[in-house]
Structure 1
Amino acid sequence: MNKTILIAFLLIQNIISAQLTEDDLSVGKWQFKNAKDNNWLPAKVPGTVHLDLMDHKIIPDPFKDENEKKVQWVENEDWDYQTSFTVSSKQLIATQNIDLVFNGLDTFSEVYLNGKLLTRTNNMFRKWVIPVKQDLKSGNNILQVKFKSAVSTGKELAKKVPFTMPESPRSFVRKAQYQFGWDWGPRLVTAGIWKDVKLSFWNTAKLENVKVEQKKLTKEKADLNIHAEIIAEKAGNYTISINNQPSNVQLKKGKNIIQIPFVIDNPKLWQPNGWGKQELYPVRVSLRKNSIHLADKDLKIGLRTVELIQEKDAKGKSFYFKVNGNPLYIKGTNWIPGDSFSPRMTKEKYQYLIRQAKEANMNMIRVWGGGIYEDDEFYKACDENGILVWQDFMFAGSFYPSDEAFLNNVQQEVKDQVNRLQNHPSIALWCGNNEVDEAIVNWGYQKQFKYSKEDSLQVWKDYKKVFHELIPNTLQENVTAEKNIYWPSSPSIGWGHKESLTEGDSHYWGVWWGEQPFEIYNEKVGRFMSEYGFQGMPTLETTKSMFSGNPDLNLQNPTIKAHEKHSRGWQIIDEYIKRDYHLPADFVKYNYVSQLVQARGMQIAIEAHRRAKPYNMGTLYWQLNDCWPVVSWSSIDYLGNWKALHYQVKRSFEQQVILTEEKDGNLNFYAINDELKKFNNISLSIQVVKFNGEIINQINASPAEKELNDILKFDPVEAKNLIGNSDRNKVFLKLFLKDEKGNVITQNIHFFSKPKDLKLSQPSIRIKKISPAEIEISTDVLAKDVYLIGDVHFSDNFFNLLPGISKRIQLSKPLEKIEVMSLWDTMQ
């Protein structure tokens, strides 16, 4: 053998033994076209066809004006994507395995490489790995993905079922259900390569999947098992290292499941927000053969225990989470996708929204089942901020089939997603679906579509196959035992049934859908309230973004109307405003009051839930965020601005609160503490204050028990004895909860009347500039619901400003002019 051949041979042998490498095909020059056309246009990957069409001005921005109507044709077309890439002869010779990896194809597609059909796809939520070495050629290669219309394909699938399925065809399509339109979102049924595409080169062996099992956790040590799935090209001795601690393993050719013990001494716990730090440990799993490094997997894990406790009691059955051995009162919200076009979501936006949840004292987010399994960055942000995740599988508000092809598809979807997500310490619970049980039992579809008895029985059989057999069985096979908490459907019982308030989780929609008064929240308190809500307008800035030109801020404007997706939304908001406020004609005032009524409703609900602790142990309002500029239930609008609701949630979710319940002429006061620490010898100072700041009465109260652990109720106080002959519409209570040293733990105020009945005087509100990003605000008389208007984030807003007490506010950036409004302005 001559020297040149020898060197080449050794080089190739070295490459063959080398570790896995990847080429990112997403960064290539992609093109797309309507399948009926011949002309290719530049495209972006990851992306969607709508975004590509918008880039080329073929369609207008559907978020603007009434443009949503103008883009509906897109969903009925087929779309082709293609790119070219090069592979060198050296790579082909030196690599034993080359895989084409699609992390997300939306949804029905055919994948071609150099004109050969490789595979057909049918699920937006699956990862597609295709061995392609034999189909690649040295030099230029052509990759094509041909997408079929999800709507047209779904309709064809629906024809195979002998009865009409509600929400057809979306029930038959394994893609984000909200894309078909919701009462807060537009109908934008997308297609495209929505996640990255890679060419993966590997030799000898690869790490397919790693999961960390927490066997035992004590103060002294954490006993872990690292489960590694390894695909080996040939049998032999290999070395697998956990954080540079090597173990020799014998692998067979093909698939291997290796289990290696690993210990962390003196472990620090991952704690939910409000209980401590989110300690995270790096875990690197490395695979070698001889001295050749083959593959790595890097994880960040948190050590914690989570249990779902359901125990029978005198009133039904408990439903609460125990974290690290302690009952945790859940305070949080529901999450929908942050954009109608998911590839447009940035890491920064994920991080921002989760930080805002933390800022508002939350400890859990429910990922709603009509959206997507979120990007890794979402779960990373939850890990880092102490936000537990209630993770729905992606089924929502419909009936679903259970034929063999559908079940096999869902099984692989579940496997892909739980393998991706289960190592995150934030994952607390897996839930089968959103409101599918509810839809079958309570929504009257069977009567509407004239089902036979056999049809109705088939629906239940289908339901049980998917949510009581397939998903829990797949979880058991793929998720470590301590992380496998499964709940078949949310809610477990519909809100029209009394059992929905005595066991399981509850979606209470008597407010809004049932148009019941907010006060009904005081009666309808379940064990765990996982959905309830009320709509409010987005901020003025976001409302203006609905327009492509100069905004016409008028409630009768067709653009404003088009951005309210609930068929009776405006009428319901108006009705609730009239109950509690004055209905303004002016648009800016209407926008303001619509936010106040939303915040008021949720305050009443949250306080009712917290007062019922420990009977109630969780409250998740609907919803945190929006997918476009819209009038909705969100507390943060599409542009990331806090609505009045989010400011109120931050106050209502504080770790310690003093709450008032007025009932049968009595005032009941509740001191609530959600931290692990206790407060001793607490007392309550109660002041009766006129709107001009004059204190006309003051009493001190002490509970029978002096220690505040979870919740304490004070002896009732007769309202008339406290306020005497004072006009209820002209006074309020100021409450101070104090510890044994007289330090104020928390404070609150309580009004005796609805906002519209308060006899407010015109406040003289003064704003003093402290620095470019800080102001001080004060008033001469009570200024209720002070609204600071400006294109910045204010550290507090929509707050009650008391006379004689100035308040400092931080601004996210300097602002030349700040407008201010209060409730008094809406009463004129």
Structure 2
Amino acid sequence: MNRTILFAFFFIQNLISAQFSERNLSSEKWQFKNSKENGWFPAKVPGTVHLDLMNNKVIPDPFKDENEKKVQWIENEDWEYQTRFTVSSKELKNQNIDLAFNGLDTFSEIYLNGRLLKKTDNMFRKWEIPVKSHLKTGENLLQVKFKSTIIAGKQLAQKVPFTMPESPRSFVRKAQYQFGWDWGPRLVTVGIWKDVKLSFWNNARFGNVKVEQKKLTKEKADLNIHAEIIAEKEEEYIVLINSRPFNFQLKKGNNTIQIPLAILNPKLWQPNEWGNPDMYDIKISLQKDSKILYDKNLRIGLRTVELVQEKDSKGKSFYFKVNGYPLYIKGTNWIPADSFSPRMTGEKYQYLIKQAKEAHMNMIRVWGGGIYENDEFYKACDENGILVWQDFMFAGSFYPGDEEFLQNVKEEIKEQVNRLQNHPSIALWCGNNEIDEAIVNWGYQKQFNYSKDDSLQIWKDYRKVFHELIPNTLKENLTADKNIYWPSSPSIGWGHKESLTEGDSHYWGVWWGEQPFEMYNEKTGRFMSEYGFQGMPTLETTKAMFSGNPDLNLQDPVIKAHQKHPRGWQIIDEYMKRDYKIPADFVKYNYVSQLLQARGMKIAIEAHRRAMPYNMGTLYWQLNDCWPVVSWSSLDYLGNWKALHYEAKRSFEPTIISVAETDKTYDIYFVSDLQSDLGIGSGAELSDINGKILWSMEAADHLKANASEKHFEIKKSEFAGFDLSKAFLRVYFDNDSMKQEKLFFFVKPKDLKLIKPNILVRKISSTEIEISTDVLAKDVYLLGDTHFSDNFFDLLPRTSKRIKLSKPLEKVELMSLWNTMMD
């Protein structure tokens, strides 16, 4: 029998024996229209009304020019979607037929053949409806009628006797960032934003399946498989776990079964740079009379995660212990990577997470104003060893606590944790972003003239949602090893001293408070889960803000429209004036704004890592963007590395050197995330801009594992006779297998007395170049439509550096900080 015939034979056999099948109705021909109008347009599912309007050339691209303003009318309209699909008489013979919408945004009515099936009110929930009795042989009409989120939200807000901040967004279970943020546009979408599926099944099927890790040792992993099974009638069934059969007598309706599973000599899922994120495949099948009724494939990782909070002399610790060892957390915050989530691809998710991995990160916090991300996001985190701090989708406002809202949220939490809990990357569930702080610190009570009873009601509603409903729902649906809950991030606002002695901290004294970058050296908490500074996107992404060829100018209204912080330019200019000379030229300004952002985050990250083990985590704001914008991101909307991402990669290396300046000394710290000690040689050299060594010292030493230590200090008096505006300190350590060095500058960049460097570029191959210089070249910036393996780097006098390119360039242009001194 040849391979083609063999394949056909098995395919037919599977069809004969299969008791479950599924059709993706997303691929049918969908149409949409404004409810006020008669004309229908072609639509794509999954999608959003904005994308459909763009595809039909009804509206311009909101990401370009000042078009965002031109599309605000969309949020106040009602919209309708429909498709026609056929069902065969054979399909109708199935015992059960379920229609499932995996995501509807947000207030909708679902009709099948003219009959109302369901009303929806939550973007984050799956809506599954038995439809066998509503279907007919031949053509069927499926309609979804969406109501304006704004109008629906305002109607809900009227039920509360006082004004709520951020109304109406806080009344609707929908991605909060769509209402506009200080990095994102206001694009309040509606639409069928996830797949629509029709499933046919007989006898029984699986519901949620979760894996409980009962005990994990080097010799064995003891697991329990918890499976929900929905059965048509009371009968005996066989459940196979990796082909091993288990018999069960099931009752009619919902059943919950439990099956033990052991894995001998288990390989652990390890976070990035601790080892491999090893995974195991588990196939679970439901069988009756030798026929497979239903299959599920699970991919799990074996690991332990603990959140350790213990009182000490300075407050209370806050750190993650992974696989039995304290892990210093290095990472960032994640926002939705597009304002229109349905056009996110698996490839883009994989790309963004791999850039985090390449920058030595081991955790990403999914911020609470976005969405519960696509499965591809968590799959990418699993595969790359990136732990996930998962916020629930509540951010920066007050939320109601009425019974209808609570029940809606309960179902949302239940569905999402059941969907996500088998991912080994999930480390912590967090109730919300900055709501505790908003209630306590943001002054809304005074702004909205709340009575004492109003304020009490807000606090009662807050506790109902985040201290009762969510943790109770987690306990009901999660296995014990996955249930780490933190009510609010941060736990204490940045204006309170306790925010730096316990819990997690969002420190915004830099940027919002306009404190100098050096304040990061003083304001270091136990776990820094948010802090940041803005920088411009790359030139390529800046140009993507325009529909035509732009004449780039800071005064251009398009550039201004893509800065969403009301004081953004003012704050950037104020900080730039402190540390750099402000260039008049746009390209140089773009370059310096990126240097400024990277400089601030370098100071912060080094301060946090030096404070280890007092501080055990640093997550800067933010990794990515949802559109082309001036923001806090290190990767711009097109995925290009800004200066910050190159700096994050350097600052997050497993070992770093950090110099802390005091009144009388320069204190030299060696920081290591390595899991074993190393013998090293170390030293320091004071050099001038030309590379002449003015002073030096050497020391034999050791590098302690998983620690930050002050290794030596240099008295300032040692350098009393030198002009430090023309000099830099190079500190290093090395051994036979590794080398680490750090350049420390004594004055701010604007006060450096730089000499024009003669920087040469030599082509090694089509995708590799060598950069060399005669004198110090500070902050070398390579320009071109390619990704450079390193950029925005310092190049020592009479040295060279090889750089790899992601694709060939005809010519590499460059500049250095010296160029900005000439404006």
TM normalised by structure 2 equals: 0.97
Query: Is 1:637 matched with 2:633?
Result: no
2:734 alignment counterpart: 738
In the alignment, the residues of structure 1 paired with residue 51 and residue 339 of structure 2 have an alpha-carbon distance, to the nearest angstrom, of: 10
Local SS of the residue matching 1:729? helix
Deviations 1:154-181 (A, max 9, x none): 0000000000000000000100000000
The one-letter code sitting in structure 2 at the alignment partner of 1:399 is F
Q: Could you tell me how far apart the structure 1 residues matched to 2:528 and 2:366 are?
A: 15
The CA distance in 1 between the partners of 2:126 and 2:670, in whole Å, is: 50
Question: Are 1:16 and 1:203, in contact at CA under 8 Å, matched by a contact in 2?
Answer: no
Whether 1:326 aligns to 2:349 is no
Contact 2:46 2:193 in 1 (8 A): yes
SS at match of 1:714: strand
Distance 1:702 1:456, change over 3 A: farther
Which residue matches 2:590? 591
Question: Which residue identity is paired with 1:405?
Answer: E
The 8 Å contact of residues 669 and 712 in structure 2, kept in 1 or not, is answered as: no
Q: Give the Cα separation in 2 of the matches to 1:21 and 1:750.
A: 64
The superposition leaves residues 150-208 of structure 1 with CA deviations (integer Å, 9 ceiling, x where unpaired) of: 01100000000000000000000100000000000000000000000000100000011
1:691 equivalent in structure 2: 689
Kept in 1: contact 2:242–2:284 (CA 8 A): yes
The amino acid that maps onto 2:397 is S
The aligned runs of 1:40-119 (5 Å cut-off) are 40-93=40-93, 95-119=94-118
Look up the equivalent residue of 2:57 and give its one-letter code: K
Alignment check: 8 A CA contact 1:671 1:708 kept: no
Q: Distance in 1 between matches of 2:686 and 2:85?
A: 76
- Does residue 370 (structure 1) correspond to residue 364 (structure 2)? The answer is no
CA contact (8 A) 2:213 2:221 kept: yes
Q: Is the 8 A contact 2:238 2:247 kept in 1?
A: yes
Question: 1: CA distance between counterparts of 2:251 and 2:677?
Answer: 56
The DSSP-based 3-state class of the residue aligned with 1:125 is coil
Aligned to 1:485: 484
In 1: Cα distance, 2:334 partner to 2:214 partner = 31
Distance in 2 (alpha carbons) for counterparts of 1:20 and 1:430? 34
| SS of equivalent residue, structure 1 residue 578 | helix
Shift of 1:14: 11
1:37 aligns with 2:33: no
Distance in 1 (CA, whole Å) between partners of 2:285 and 2:95 is 20
> Are 1:360 and 1:653, in contact at CA under 8 Å, matched by a contact in 2?
yes
Q: Which runs of 4+ in 1 moved over 2 A?
A: 13-19, 705-709
**Residue 717 (structure 1) aligned with residue 711 (structure 2):** no
Q: What is the correspondence of 1:655-670 to structure 2 with a 5 Å cutoff?
A: 655-670=654-669
Question: What residue is the counterpart of 2:820 in the other structure?
Answer: 826
* One-letter amino acid matched to 2:146: F
Determine the structure 2 residue equivalent to 1:760.
754
Q: Which amino acid aligns with 2:52?
A: D
Superposed CA offset, 1:485-507 (max 9, x none)? 00000000000000000000000
Q: Is the 8 A contact 1:18 1:203 kept in 2?
A: no
Indicate the residue corresponding to 2:806 in structure 1: 812
Q: 2:770 aligns with which of 732, 751, 776?
A: 776
Give 1:16 deviation, angstroms: 9.7
Task: In structure 1, give the amino acid aligned to 2:731.
Answer: L
Q: Structure 1 residues 14 and 622 mapped into 2: Cα distance closer, same or farther (>3 Å)?
A: closer
> Which whole-Å CA distance do the structure 2 matches of 1:348 and 1:15 have between them?
32
**Displacement after TM superposition at 1:684 (Å):** 1.9
Match of 2:698 among 695, 700, 703: 700
Cα displacement (A) at 1:685: 1.1
Residues of 2 paired with 1:105 and 1:543: CA distance?
33
Residue 33 of structure 1 aligns with an amino acid whose one-letter code is K
In the alignment, what sits opposite 2:5?
A: none
Residues 672 and 703, structure 2, Cα contact 8 Å, conserved in 1: no
SS in 1 for 2:105: coil
Q: Deviations over 1:484-538 (max 9, x none)?
A: 0000000000000000000000000000000000000000000000000000000
Contact 2:329 2:618 in 1 (8 A): yes
Give the residue type in structure 2 aligned to 1:769.
K
**Deviation sequence 1:84-112 (CA, Å, 0-9, x none):** 1011111112x000000000000000000
Distance 2:101 2:422 in 1: 22
Aligned residues: 811
Could you tell me how far apart the structure 1 residues matched to 2:187 and 2:91 are?
Answer: 41
Matched with 1:671 is 670
What is the CA-CA distance between 1:552 and the residue it aligns to? 1.9
- Conserved 8 A contact 1:656-1:745: no
Deviations 1:220-255 (A, max 9, x none): 110000000100001111111111111111111100
Aligned with residue 749 of structure 1, among 740, 743, 748: 743
| AA partner of residue 778 (structure 1) | S
The alpha carbon displacement at 1:18 in A equals 3.3
More moved, 302-311 vs 18-27 = 18-27
Which deviates more, 686-695 or 634-643? 686-695
Matches of 2:341 and 2:512, distance apart in 1 = 29
Aligned to 1:174: 173
Shift of 1:19: 2.3
CA distance in 2, matches of 1:15, 1:585: 69
Aligned equivalents of 1:16, 1:434: Cα separation in 2: 51
TM-score by length of 1: 0.97
* Pairing 1:369-408 to 2, within 5 Å after superposition: 369-408=368-407
Task: Please name the residue that 1:470 is paired with.
Answer: 469
Aligned counterpart, 2:294? 295
Are the equivalent residues in 1 in contact too, given 2:175–2:369 (CA < 8 A)? Answer: yes
Does the CA-based 8 Å contact 2:672-2:705 persist in structure 1?
yes
Aligned match of 2:784 in 786, 790, 809? 790
8 A Cα contact 2:675 2:705, kept in partner: no
Q: Which residue of 1 aligns with 2:571?
A: 572
Taking the TM superposition and a 5 Å limit, the aligned residue runs for 1:169-208 are 169-208=168-207
What letter corresponds to residue 694 of structure 1 in structure 2? K
Q: Please give the secondary structure, in 1, of the residue aligned with 2:31.
A: strand
Deviation per CA, 1:35-56: give whole Å up to 9, x if none.
0111111000000000000011
Contact 1:701 1:714 in 2 (8 A): no
Give the SS at the match of 2:769: strand
Code of the residue aligned with 1:798 in structure 2: it is F
Q: Which amino acid aligns with 1:133?
A: K
Distance 2:275 2:66 in 1: 47
Across the aligned residues of Structure 1 and Structure 2, the Cα RMSD in angstroms comes to: 1.3
**SS at 1:340's partner residue?**
coil
Spell out, residue by residue over 1:365-424, the C-alpha distance to the aligned partner (whole angstroms, 9 max, x if none).
Answer: 000000000000000000000000000000000000010100000000001100000000
Instruction: Work out the CA distance in 2 between the residues paired with 1:169 and 1:491.
Output: 24
Q: Which residue in 1 is equivalent to 2:646?
A: 647
Contact 1:213/1:226 (CA < 8 Å) preserved in 2?
yes
Structure 2 Cα separation of the partners of residues 688 and 694 of structure 1? 8
- SS for the counterpart of 1:725 is coil
* Aligned equivalents of 1:200, 1:547: Cα separation in 2: 44
1:232-243 alignment runs, 5 A limit: 232-243=231-242
Letter in 2 for 1:475: L
Cα pair 1:335 1:365 within 8 Å, conserved: yes
Letter in 1 for 2:767: A
Q: CA deviation at 1:719?
A: 2.3
Amino acid at match of 2:710: K
Which residue does the alignment assign to 2:350?
A: 351
Shift of 1:737: 1.2
Question: Once structures 1 and 2 are overlaid, which stretch shifts more, 54-63 or 668-677?
Answer: 668-677
Contact 1:401–1:462 (8 Å) recurs in 2: yes
Residues 211-222 of structure 1: matches in 2 within 5 Å? 211-222=210-221
Q: 1:696: how far off?
A: 1.6
Q: Which runs of 5+ in 2 are unaligned?
A: 1-12
Q: 1:575 to 1:478 in 2, by over 3 A?
A: same
Assess, with a 3 A threshold, how the Cα gap between structure 1 residues 381 and 706 changes in structure 2: closer, same or farther: closer
The 1:60–1:314 alpha-carbon spacing in structure 2 relative to 1, beyond 3 Å, is same
Contact residue 178 and residue 185 of structure 1 kept, 8 A: yes
CA distance in 2, matches of 1:707, 1:790: 41
Could you report, residue by residue, the CA deviation over 1:771-792 in whole angstroms, capped at 9, with x for unpaired residues? 0000000000000000000011
